[in-house]
Amino acid sequence: MTSRPKAPSARGKASAGGSAPILLIEDTISLQMVYRTILINAGHRVVCAATAAEGLALFNSEKPSIVLLDLTLPDRDGLDLMQDMLARQANVIVIVITANGTINKAVEAMRAGAHEFLVKPIEEGRFLSSVDNALRDTTTAPIQPRTIMRQPNDLPEGAFIGSSTVMAQVHDKIESVAQSMATVFITGESGTGKELCALAVHQNSPRKQGPFIALNCGAIPADLLESEVFGHLKGSFTGAVSDKLGAAAAADGGTLFLDEVCEMLPALQTKLLRFLQTSTVQPVGATRPRKVNVRIVCATNRDPAEAVRRGEFREDLYYRLYVIPIHMPPLRDRGEDVIEVAETALQRFAAEEGRAFTSLSPQVRSMFREMTWPGNVRQVLNVMRNVAVLYDGTEVQPYMLPDDIAARTHVPPPQAAPEPGVGLTELMGLPLAEVERRIIEATLELHAGSVPRAARVLDVSPSTLYRKLEQWAKADQPN
């Protein structure tokens, strides 16, 4: 039985100390719940609003230092709301949240004084890094870095759950390189946990008490990327309403993580190379460089050597960065890790949603082993979150899974179907429901009991077959 998720209250849980909360303004209740949970689990105090009017009222009463603002609100344009907030409290830091269709408006918001913008869907690591960076700019005290070595049930580091040989090799390499100052270059498909790997390198290094600053080079418009990396001075360009500490300077004494580094424009690649050679940064509009002490970790889901061959990435920068490579393996190459990742995520999300789930059923385990998981660990986490929000029980059953799971399962070509007409005579005179059951059972037998394969042949959703099998099993039980 499904249950509708309840909308969260306007006020989040208060953290110890009673400091100014983070104000989250997001009209999609399901996303509001997810963002709020992430922030609370990271130790932040949060207040939430679903409309501009409610958000402005909370802004006036709570005096937040950071606002997470969705630009598309039902009762007012988010950009207008942001300008009202900045007029009332000039030092507030606003992080705008936008969908792909409103990128131009997000850039406009940055020029009007926003601190940063995030594009939906937002990765949890990226989300928390943005908040950490904003908090660093609101206080003179250094922020304690987020760690990778949390308790076993504390995701998002699901990418580091598992006992496969390939992941043991990754752990060993992280432990070996963490003590060094050498640049680490992480490669791997999207969703394999590259930022988590970077966090692990940082947290196991002598710099773990310093900041960990993450910057997604592929998610920032070209005209703002230099400012994001190196900072700018007030008045250096239109929209520069205050001095901004760039990511390189913010990471002084810690680690700077450059995600999707192969998406960096050639002009900025030149400046990054100079930064690596001199360890100095020069904000936009500044006349003098500043010396910083930063360790560089970068990542890409592309083949960096191929990017060099295509002329898209400087060869000298490639050799400067590609010192210690770490490859994050795709989930399909990690064997039974998929089950460990899924059940660990399930238990955490179940606790958050007040559910009783503890494990996957044998049928679901079999399905998960068959899947190629193109979205890797991120896809598994999304599936488990979906189940925990929509259903309840102790075991995850196949009918609880999203319908597209079967479509993403690697299914071998089906065996040849029986010749037309075979067995038709014995079906004559039977009720339609019984005919349906016999055809389904025969198809399952033909495909060695695999529900996904039988569903593909019958052109129905696997969840439909699982529901029917459960119904028949209950009907066949003696009273």
Compute how many other C-beta atoms are within 10 angstroms of the C-beta atom of residue 25. 29
SS3 232: strand
Please give the pLDDT value at position 250.
85
Q: How far apart are CA 224 and CA 214, in angstroms?
A: 16
Identify which has the larger pLDDT, 477 or 345: 345
What is the dotted CATH code of the domain comprising 22-122? 3.40.50.2300
Compute how many other C-beta atoms are within 10 angstroms of the C-beta atom of residue 285. 15
Please give the pLDDT value at position 284.
80
- Enter the DSSP assignment of 41: H
DSSP secondary structure letters along 275-341: HHHH-EE--BT-SS-EE---EEEEEESS-HHHHHHTTSS-HHHHHHH-SEEEEPPPGGGSTTHHHHH
Fill in the amino acid letter for 401. L
Q: How far apart are CA 315 and CA 306, in angstroms?
A: 11
Please give the pLDDT value at position 406.
53
Q: How far apart are CA 184 and CA 157, in angstroms?
A: 19
Compute how many other C-beta atoms are within 10 angstroms of the C-beta atom of residue 229. 24
**Residues forming CATH 3.40.50.2300 domain(s) in the chain:** 22-122
Please give the pLDDT value at position 104.
61
Please give the pLDDT value at position 327.
95
Average pLDDT over residues 184-201: 92
Task: Identify whether the C-beta of residue 134 lies closer than 8 Å to the C-beta of residue 95.
Answer: yes
Q: Is the pLDDT of residue 325 over 90?
A: yes
Task: Identify whether the C-beta of residue 388 lies closer than 8 Å to the C-beta of residue 345.
Answer: no
Q: Is the pLDDT of residue 465 over 90?
A: no
- The pLDDT confidence band at residue 418, using thresholds 50, 70 and 90, is very low
Please give the pLDDT value at position 286.
78
Q: Is the pLDDT of residue 424 over 80?
A: no
Q: What proportion of the chain, given as a percentage, has pLDDT over 90?
A: 28
The sign of the torsion formed by the CA atoms of 248, 250, 252, 254 equals: negative
First CA to last CA across the chain, in angstroms? 23
Identify which has the larger pLDDT, 445 or 100: 445
Q: How far apart are CA 338 and CA 410, in angstroms?
A: 15
Task: Identify whether the C-beta of residue 83 lies closer than 8 Å to the C-beta of residue 112.
Answer: yes
Question: Which of 132-141, 308-317, 399-408 shows the lowest mean pLDDT across its residues?
Answer: 132-141
Please give the pLDDT value at position 11.
35
Question: Which of 150-154, 358-362, 387-391 shows the lowest mean pLDDT across its residues?
Answer: 150-154
Average pLDDT over residues 272-291: 84
Q: Is the pLDDT of residue 219 over 50?
A: yes
Q: Is the pLDDT of residue 87 over 90?
A: no
State CA 120 to chain mean position distance: 10
What are the pLDDT digits (tens) for 221-249? Answer: 766 777 778 887 877 776 666 777 788 88
The verdict on domain 332-410 having CATH code 1.10.8.60 is yes
Please give the pLDDT value at position 420.
41
Q: Is the pLDDT of residue 425 over 70?
A: no
- The pLDDT confidence band at residue 113, using thresholds 50, 70 and 90, is confident
If you average pLDDT over every residue of the chain, what do you get? 80
The two structure tokens encoding residue 56: 């402005």
Which residue is associated with the tokens 């590259």? 194
- The pLDDT confidence band at residue 460, using thresholds 50, 70 and 90, is confident
Please give the pLDDT value at position 329.
94
Average pLDDT over residues 278-294: 84
- The pLDDT confidence band at residue 58, using thresholds 50, 70 and 90, is very high
Q: How far apart are CA 333 and CA 459, in angstroms?
A: 29
The two structure tokens encoding residue 440: 């389904």
Average pLDDT over residues 72-76: 87
Please give the pLDDT value at position 155.
36
The two structure tokens encoding residue 478: 């003696």
Which residue is associated with the tokens 């989300």? 127
CATH topology of domain 157-329: Rossmann fold (3.40.50)
Q: Where is mean pLDDT largest: 308-312, 449-453, 475-479? A: 308-312
**Residues forming CATH 3.40.50.300 domain(s) in the chain:** 157-329
pTM of the model: 0.56
Please give the pLDDT value at position 222.
66
Please give the pLDDT value at position 48.
94
The two structure tokens encoding residue 86: 């900045």
Q: Is the pLDDT of residue 386 over 60?
A: yes
